[in-house]
Amino acid sequence: MEHKTNKLFNEFPEVSASQWEEVVMKDLKGADYTKKLIWKTPEGFDVKPYYRAENLSEIPWINAFPGDFPFVRGNKASGNNWLVRQDIVVDDIAQANAKALDILMKGVDALGFQLDCKKYYTIDQIDALLKNIRADIAEINFIGSSQHLELVKMLDQLVRQYNRPLDKITGSVNYDPVLRFSRRGIWYDSMEADFERAHDLLKAAAALPNYRVIGVNGHIFADAGATITQEMAFTLAAGTEYLTRLVGKGLFIGEVAPKMKFNLGVGSNYFMEIAKFRALRMLWAQIVNAYGLNDARNGRMFIHATNNSWNFTIYDPWVNALRTTTGTMAAVLAGVDSFTVKPYDHAVEKPTAFAERIARNQQLVLKEESYLDRIADPAAGSYYIENLTQLLMDEAWQLFLKIDDEGGFIQALEKGMIQQQLKESATRRNNNIASRREILLGTNQFPNFNENLSEEISAAAMQADDKSDPAATIETIKVYRGAMEFERLRYLTDRFSLKNERPVAWMLTFGNLAMRKARANFAANFFACAGFAVKDNPGFATIHEGIAAAKAEKPAIVVICSSDEEYEGNALAIFEALRNETLVVLAGQPVGLTDTLRQAGMEHFIHVKSNVLETLRSFQQLLGMKEGL
């Protein structure tokens, strides 16, 4: 048989972009294309509704290979293996060692030891902590300690003592005085002394070529409410501070850049997060190259990533496992070097063994069962992701240059530029969550109606994490979770309900079946966000039946649910009949009728443009709920 090779679908004629646009405009029926189909991102650029092959023509790296400069396609020439990391809080050295050995047998190949910054550790204690752990097989990372230089020296001594190959020792100490200054407003000793210690760390770790001693903790920006482009620009600017100051101390760029590790966060914006890591690697390679590389490999950005805490929730915490799975997928597909999945209960308590097991297995399923470790840069060539990468790169670079014009990251902090940008972004995001333009599932939309917290929750769990030192010389960066305001709202209802009857939002439904069901569902989700009990009704034959039933049940809130047409004449009658017995709310905002109802004394309307948070707070106040219950 003669073998023939045909291109798939080559029998179909090519469709031009103008033909696509013609069909789109026809389907829009005169509606504004830009408003309907162009996504205006918080990052500051527009995203088209579709991309085509011709949109790759100006992508400069499109023919680059994985593992090649500028590393947009990853640090590895083949495959996509990453290290599965789990962090351990070291309260007791023997217990921490036992836990490390246990999880190493359960798929973990990178360990993060969270040390106590107020304790001084001896070499014997570090030896006991690492007992029976092969430092040339498992990555060893130290977090939280102020003994960075001593830890590097101790690790160097121990691996020599146990005759481990020095070039196989991987991991990091997370020395990041710039982070300390950002979060606490003070240096360890002074700016000059702290950067001198960074210089000493590099010298101390010279014999451990793959052990990284400078940390750049860009995850704090996302957890402070930054947009992705802000997160990128601030991270790059912070990293550049180390390059500039350490090269200024006489070090060659090849001695500095390879000893840095970027600790970054990943959020829920799946495709944008994939593009973010790709864009970051390319921009960092270009920055390092500007210092005079003699080996392209020194331009690689080594990334440890973890899930942002920003979108974690206390209520319905199991949803966090869904958030972390998509975030983890985005990061590993983008080619990070190691990853830690935050346990789903991370926001409210010390993670349980069960939650830690789930977190570990999320990565292992993606690696062992989904084979995400097999293919380098699977996003390559995607019209959408390649263009997102370019857009993020351009926008982040412009902001980076503005920071550079301010004198660099530290001076931008001292002038308040970084903090101001973060506050503006956080305010926008908070307002979007309050009005449900940004959704946190289970918190400001589709809450679990049956979930109540009877146990007391630490106030710190629902407050921003402020590490400001009393001697701070700058306004510090505070991290928080986007769900906090809604959680405080709902928690207030739960505490109130321990001593009082839980308020009920009762649906008075009548008329048009589709509209009454839609508005009852909307109202039920609306009030459940504050932890109110919700009672729906199948629909009353007349409003008089509904009024009688409401008077019999005496709910705290009655919500009128029907169509705009049937509100005419009926809504006012219901309000007049119940106004002295309960809070009467109208689901919707019927044009014309709303003013009439307001003139009659009706104050409460809920609709898609409502500020859900402020509206629910006002109902809590009307029902006698006060903070501090």
- CA 21 from chain centre, in angstroms, equals 35
The Cα–Cα gap between 625 and 629 comes to 8
Q: Looking at per-residue confidence, does 627 or 624 come out higher?
A: 624
CA–CA distance, 378 with 370 (Å, rounded to integer): 13
C-alpha dihedral, 550 to 555 to 558 to 562, nearest 10°:
-60
> Do 83-404 and 495-622 share a fold?
no
pLDDT class of 2 with cuts at 50, 70, 90: low
- Give pLDDT tens digits for 365-409: 999 999 999 999 999 999 999 999 999 999 999 999 999 999 999
Q: Supply angle C-alpha 430, 313, 438, rounded to 5.
A: 35
Residue ranges of domains in the chain: 17-55, 83-404, 495-622
Among candidate residues 133, 134, 173, 132, the one with its CA nearest the CA of residue 150: 173
State the pLDDT at residue 10.
76
Quote the mean pLDDT of the chain.
96
pLDDT in tens, 80-91: 999 999 999 999
Residue with tokens 């805490």: 309
pLDDT at 3 over 70: no
Which residue in the block uniquely carries the two structure tokens 């979007």? 432
Over residues 562-589, the pLDDT tens digits come to 999 999 999 999 999 999 999 999 999 9
DSSP state of 460: G
- How far apart (Å, rounded) are the C-alpha atoms in residues 324 and 307? 6
pLDDT at position 14? 85
Angle at 277 between CA 87 and CA 482, to 5 degrees: 65
Task: Name 260's bridge partners.
Answer: 214
SS3 390: helix
Please measure the distance between the N-terminal and C-terminal CA atoms of the chain and give it in whole angstroms. Answer: 84
User: Average pLDDT in the 465-476 region?
Assistant: 97
105 token code pair = 């047998």
* Burial of 166 from C-beta contacts in 10 A (0-12 / 13-18 / 19+): middle
Peptide bond into 70 cis (omega under 30): yes
* Cβ atoms of residues 74 and 67 within 8 Å: yes
Q: Dump pLDDT digits (tens) for 201-251.
A: 999 999 999 999 999 999 999 999 999 999 999 999 999 999 999 999 999
The answer to whether 148 and 201 are in contact (CB under 8 A) is yes
Three-state SS for 350? coil
The answer to whether 368 and 310 have CB atoms below 8 angstroms apart is no
**Residue pLDDT, tens place only, 425-457:** 999 999 999 999 999 999 999 999 999 998 899
CA–CA separation, 249 vs 200, rounded Å? 11
Q: Provide CATH code, domain 83-404.
A: 3.20.20.240
How sure is the predictor about 554, in pLDDT bands with cuts at 50, 70 and 90? Answer: very high
Predicted local confidence at residue 454, as pLDDT: 86
Query: Residue 289 class from Cβ within 10 Å (0-12 exposed, 13-18 middle, 19+ buried)?
Result: middle
pLDDT band at 628 (very low <50, low <70, confident <90, very high): low
The angle subtended at Cα 493 by Cα 491 and Cα 496, nearest 5°, is 110
Nearest Cα to 534, choosing from 547, 515, 553?
Answer: 553
Q: Which CATH class for the 495-622 domain?
A: alpha beta
The torsion of the CA quartet 156, 157, 162, 163, rounded to 10 degrees, works out to 60
